[in-house]
Amino acid sequence: MSRSTLILGTRGSKLAVHQSQWVQARLQELAPGLTISLKRIQTSGDKILDVPLAKIGGKGLFVKEIEDALLSGEIDLAVHSMKDVPTALPEGLEILCVPPREDARDALITRDGCGLDQLKPGARIGTSSLRRQAQLLHHRPDFVIEMLRGNLDTRLRKLREGQFDAIVLAAAGLRRLEWDAEISEYLPVHLSLPAIAQGALGIEARSNDSVVRDVLTRFEHRPTRMTVTAERALLHRLEGGCQVPIAAHAVLDGETLTLDGLVATVDGRRVIRHQIQGPAVDAQQLGTILAERLLADGADVILKDIYGRAS
């Protein structure tokens, strides 16, 4: 059955809407006969802003209500930041399209524009990420890491108000909103390995929706799909969520995929990191193998300890 109108669901934050409007415009170019309208949906993760994600259920809180709307037929497709998407999807739903990835790195924003190593001893750094916390403390144990949640504009305002000396955000969001002039320093991946799928978007829809599948196939970016697949396979094997400092970043060079993976203690005192390389077509397997290596090297002890304290 042909349809002339599709409804695209999105979180209501400025960044989420901007990302969805970008996808909407690209899809309209690819399928000019279709009308694609946006529907804003508030998620649990957007409502609870005063508690760390690790304590309220993790990343799935940013997608559950949107996935419910997909399953009920209220919307036809949804745009997510892939780092918010759990590795297991509800039955009947699928990430049908992964568009080209933005910059995957973390970005440091300081009050006076200085770089990370110019920050004063005991500098207060705001972040909501245990992954960032662990790596920052591993690099500079003198830092004081404090919780920072909220939309990008809220986080930037808190920095300007003097609540922090610096904050760390995903570079991708700042670049998409054309706020990259705010960035004091892009943190290199050897110092701050990114979150799984950071900088990538995923377009989710019903598996049996052939109309949406046909449109999205034209927007698929295979290199991003391969790198994200490897990173998510590692996360899936580690059974990781927001409450664990896990990081991974894959790079594709021709048909060769290189994947870096990391598990750390929350205080940054112990960091286990390994790298694997292989054919891009084996992305899923490479992620799983690297996770096994991390576990064998002691990540299993770190994870058991963190999950034991969280339960």
What is the dihedral sign for C-alpha 27, 30, 31, 32? positive
Model confidence, pTM: 0.91
Catalytic residue among 76, 84, 103, 106: 84
* DSSP code of residue 113: -
The question of whether 84 is a catalytic residue gets the answer yes
What is the dihedral sign for C-alpha 78, 282, 100, 43? positive
- Sequence letter at residue 170: A
CA angle 186, 19, 91 (to 5 degrees): 110
Q: What is the per-residue DSSP string for 179-199?
A: -GGG-SEEEPTTTSPPPTTTT
Return the bridge partners of 78, or none.
9, 204
Is 247:273 a contact under the CB 8 Å cutoff? no
Per-residue confidence (pLDDT) for residue 1, from 0 to 100: 42
Mean pLDDT by 10 residues, the chain (311 residues): 84 92 95 94 61 50 87 96 91 97 98 96 95 97 93 92 96 95 97 97 97 95 98 92 86 98 96 98 98 96 82 51
* DSSP code of residue 148: -
Per-residue confidence (pLDDT) for residue 66, from 0 to 100: 94
Return the bridge partners of 251, or none.
258
